[in-house]
Amino acid sequence: MKTDSTMESKTDALDTSIGKPLVAADQNGQNAVEDFVDPWNVHTSSMKGVDYDKLINKFGCSAIDDSLIERFKRVAKVEEVHPLLRRGVFFSHRDLHVILDCVEKGQKFYLYTGRGPSSDAMHLGHLIPFLFTKWLQEVFDVPLIIQITDDEKYYWKSLSLEKVKEMAVENIKDIIAMDFHPDKTFIFRNLEYMGQSVGFQETLARIQKLVTVSKIRGQFGFSDSDCMGKYSFPFNQAVPSFSSAFPQIFKGKTNVPCLIPCGIDQDPYFRMTRDVAPRLKFLKPALVHSKFFPALQGANSKMSASDPNSAIFLTDTHEEIKEKINKYAYSGDRDTVKEHQEKGGDCSVDIAFQYLTYFEENDEELEKIRQNYSSGEMFSGQIKEILIKKLTRVVLDHQTKKKSITEDIVRGFMTPRQLVFDF
């Protein structure tokens, strides 16, 4: 695996496996289904979750190693990086060093991320890229573009246009409630904004002219029976990676570097984007990828908006959080108390512990819990108690903030305008 943080931009590997889970021989020579990740599916049979080292190799991205984190600290002039970065949740990247080079030269870049509104309520997994993006916006003082892909969810789910719009509005309020900078953040909904913006349409046309149907079919696994909306959608997600799409923000500059924080499942869209960029004489967008926040039932099952017990949602009450964690969070305890005390709990599968690695900001506190649990002194039930308190605070604070987000505030974020941004 390539971990050199200073290497030149490399050619992105083309993962042709999208749409078809891979079957490979396991240690016993038997067929076993390999981990599988694309924008629509995440499968792993391991309670420890996806094998991210293998995924890095398969996708052709690069691991975020200690030397890159040290460089990040020097360039960003921060004593410590965000917990999600230092704990390896953001574990992989494409061309992050190019963004750091820009910052070193005093050049600005912009951030781009997004959400596809498939439920009224976002779950904690959806928050992860936004939490990190907010920190990046503060550290680098840069503009942020947030795309809401209501079109994507319309094409993929059996939802009416009215329903996806309703969900988009709720999700946008959730995102604003995370305290993004109002003068430096532009949020748009594809079905509302794309047709109004010449910059967006022209960038879209340039990209679409370069990519054939057979390429899209191969890259995304679409078939003859998929609707045209699906074939055209990857371009809509590609466009905001280029500053030419937002003349009102970037004053017509077409080569402002872009950094995209996202879950690793979104990478296929941006491989296609990075592939076309040089042919348009545009810069390839850089990416930082996060691992998946696991479902309550364990890292081998999926969080789903249609199964309220699979995840903690931002709309949950204290009682719901308590009940879900106590009842469903997979435990790394051993079978008997005696065995647990002898062997210790398994932090790598215990969901309450795993969730704390995302939401307990204090490293010493987390380490204490890790030691006590893996030495067998502590049981999963005790970690669950800590987690319930922590998540109740996170979720209820969020709900309070969301209540203060008025229609005017939403409109403010969604108005196409010049952002406060010093080139």
Chain residues 389-418 in contact with ligand TYM, contact rule CB under 6 A: none
Chain residues 105-124 in contact with ligand TYM, contact rule CB under 6 A: 112-116
Query: Is 355 a binder of ligand TYM (CB under 6 A)?
Result: no
User: Which of 34, 152, 350, 360 contacts ligand TYM by CB under 6 A?
Assistant: 152
User: Which of 140, 293, 330, 353 contacts ligand TYM by CB under 6 A?
Assistant: 293
Instruction: Report, in Å, the least distance between residue 208 CB and ligand TYM.
Output: 17
Query: Is 263 a binder of ligand TYM (CB under 6 A)?
Result: yes
Contact range with ligand TYM by CB under 6 A, out of 2-10, 70-78, 202-210, 288-296: 288-296
Query: Is 143 a binder of ligand TYM (CB under 6 A)?
Result: no
User: Which of 19, 49, 83, 125 contacts ligand TYM by CB under 6 A?
Assistant: 125
Query: Is 147 a binder of ligand TYM (CB under 6 A)?
Result: yes
Query: Is 199 a binder of ligand TYM (CB under 6 A)?
Result: no
Query: Is 128 a binder of ligand TYM (CB under 6 A)?
Result: yes
Query: Is 97 a binder of ligand TYM (CB under 6 A)?
Result: no
Query: Is 285 a binder of ligand TYM (CB under 6 A)?
Result: no
Residue 149 or 374 with smaller CB distance to ligand TYM? 149
Contact by Cβ (8 Å): 332, 340: no
Residue 114 or 345 with smaller CB distance to ligand TYM? 114
Query: Is 273 a binder of ligand TYM (CB under 6 A)?
Result: no
Contact range with ligand TYM by CB under 6 A, out of 8-16, 262-270, 275-283, 415-423: 262-270
Query: Is 237 a binder of ligand TYM (CB under 6 A)?
Result: yes
List interacting residues with ligand TYM (CB under 6 A): 39, 112-116, 125-126, 128-129, 147, 149, 152, 237, 260, 262-263, 265-266, 290, 292-293, 303
